[in-house]
């Protein structure tokens, strides 16, 4: 296995056309857990013990993108820099175009990657 590969930040840039790009990164463990926590709600039973967890998938996707988007460039961004607030303001169609790359970057480690 390559030295330091578990700490290498994997990134990929998505071309949105018209000179606009967005760069996404693979989430680290802390970022992934923070996004899950923000999107989760524990439902308590009548006995006061946790009964089930509710996961809001829309909130999860938004929180993941806040961590995954590391930069953007192009005239469509009007000179604004990425921040959690600016990411929330993006057109949903932009996020829809980023989801396949996010999913690819954050897929579970395959057997080939575990070997070596």
Structure tokens at 93: 């169609």
Q: What is the mean pLDDT of residues 72-79?
A: 97
What are the domain boundaries of the chain? 14-103
**Residue-level pLDDT at 113:** 55
Instruction: Look up tokens 């018209």; give the residue.
Output: 18
pTM of the model: 0.82
Residue of higher predicted confidence among 46 and 96: 96
Which tens digit of pLDDT belongs to each residue from 18-55? 999 999 999 999 999 999 999 999 888 889 887 888 99
Q: CA neighbours within 13 Å on the CB side: how many for 99?
A: 10
> Which whole number is the average pLDDT over 73-95?
97
């Amino acid at each position: 296995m390559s030295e330091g590969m578990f700490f290498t930040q994997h990134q990929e840039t998505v071309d949105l056309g018209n000179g606009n790009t967005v760069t996404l990164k693979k989430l680290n463990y802390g970022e992934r857990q923070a996004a899950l926590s923000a999107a989760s709600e524990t439902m308590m039973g009548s006995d006061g013990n946790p009964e089930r967890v509710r996961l809001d998938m829309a909130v999860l996707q938004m929180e993941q993108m806040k961590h995954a988007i590391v930069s953007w460039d192009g005239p469509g961004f009007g000179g604004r820099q990425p921040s959690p607030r600016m990411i929330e303001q993006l057109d949903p169609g932009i996020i829809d175009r980023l989801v396949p790359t996010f999913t690819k970057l954050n897929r579970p480690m395959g057997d080939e990657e575990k070997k070596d």
